[in-house]
Amino acid sequence: MINFTVGPVQSSEEICRIGAEQVPYFRTSEFSSLMKENEKLILQFAKADEKSKAIFLTGSGTAAMEATVINLLTSKDKVLIINGGSFGQRFVNICSVHNIPYTEIKLERGKDISEDQLKEYEGKNYTALLVNVHETSTGVHYDINLISEFCKRNNLLFIVDAISSFLADELDVSKLQIDVMITSSQKALACPPGISILVISEKAEKLIYENDPHSLYLDLKDALKNAERGQTPFTPAVGILIQINARLKEIEHKGGIEKEIEKTAELAEDFRKKIKGLPFEIESDSLSNAVTPIHPITNSAYKIFEILKDEYGIWVCPNGGDMSDYMFRVGHIGNLTKEDNSKLVDAFLDLQKRGII
């Protein structure tokens, strides 16, 4: 099986080997130092400043999205949400459940946000902005510099879901003045799902201590206090945190974040070059290195996904809902190679020969 989905993705052999080991007890100095090292490397790769902190939550990416909303925003806020697909919609749903006043900036499928669109919201007393820097459902990587400048001018709390973009695209948390950056274990970190991570600014930390979320498990004050000694309030997904540690150290040994992004960019470029000439359209204003969204012109995207899975042992990533016949996505994150790309392209060529695409 080759897995080109966008998460969970393929892990390296070392990560799989750790997954086969016994899970140790965690209230120990050894685990505390491992967690401190995880925090240090995450902050380093996010390019966060020295006053920033990282919080590790047990739960998938959505847990960190919801924790961010309930710990940093209240019914007194006036929030802008950039909504270009199902992950933007998830922020809308979370704010709605928790009665946070919001305005949606709805984008058409495949479209990046423009300066003109943002102008309408300039100087309107908004207090925070929520965005998924890479809207994974449609494969659009937003112009984060444009959004960051808008937040700086309007003094907005800047919350960025970078779950599918962190480690795949450039992202400088301190330069962009991001107050909360969210990521999770099963995307470019290439570990099993179950851990989500928040990188928070000093300003965000203050807000967390001022607010009182109606949640026990997701109250970040406890997480912050425990993190000072490299611990978590409750039993975390210990095994995954150990795998994350190995993966972060592997990235560092192989040349750091720049090298990692370069590797993913090369894989994406290689794939996009190899599919030229196939009856596919890529409808995205701005691509992330993490994913290529493909609209097959001649057959249902879902049908192609199923045939690749059942007859070729290759998994691309189907889209859900009303996009399922329209689009599938090919991921470039996780333990993949250019040879894997060639195998997928060979399968496409075979489908073409068979008259399926």
Write out the residues near ligand PLP by the rule CB under 6 A.
7, 60-62, 87, 132, 136, 161, 163-164, 184, 187
Minimal distance, residue 312 CB to ligand PLP, in Å: 25
In this chain, which residue has its C-beta nearest to ligand PLP? 61
Structure token pair of residue 300:
């249902």
Minimal distance, residue 327 CB to ligand PLP, in Å: 15
* 148 versus 184: smaller Cβ distance to ligand PLP: 184
Minimal distance, residue 200 CB to ligand PLP, in Å: 17
Minimal distance, residue 310 CB to ligand PLP, in Å: 24
Structure token pair of residue 224:
């912050």
| DSSP letter assigned to residue 336 | -
| DSSP letter assigned to residue 185 | T
* Ramachandran quadrant class, 277 (left: phi over 0; alpha: psi -120 to 50; beta: rest): left
* 10 versus 136: smaller Cβ distance to ligand PLP: 136
CA atoms within 13 Å, Cβ hemisphere of 344: 31
- b vs e for 135-162, b when ≥16 Cβ sit within 10 Å of the residue's Cβ? bbbbbbbbbbeebbebbeebebbbbbbb
* 183 versus 231: smaller Cβ distance to ligand PLP: 183
How many Cβ atoms from other residues are within 10 Å of residue 117's Cβ?
A: 15
CA atoms within 13 Å, Cβ hemisphere of 353: 6
CB 333 within 8 A of CB 325: no
CB 105 within 8 A of CB 54: no
Minimal distance, residue 311 CB to ligand PLP, in Å: 27
Minimal distance, residue 228 CB to ligand PLP, in Å: 27
* 88 versus 213: smaller Cβ distance to ligand PLP: 88
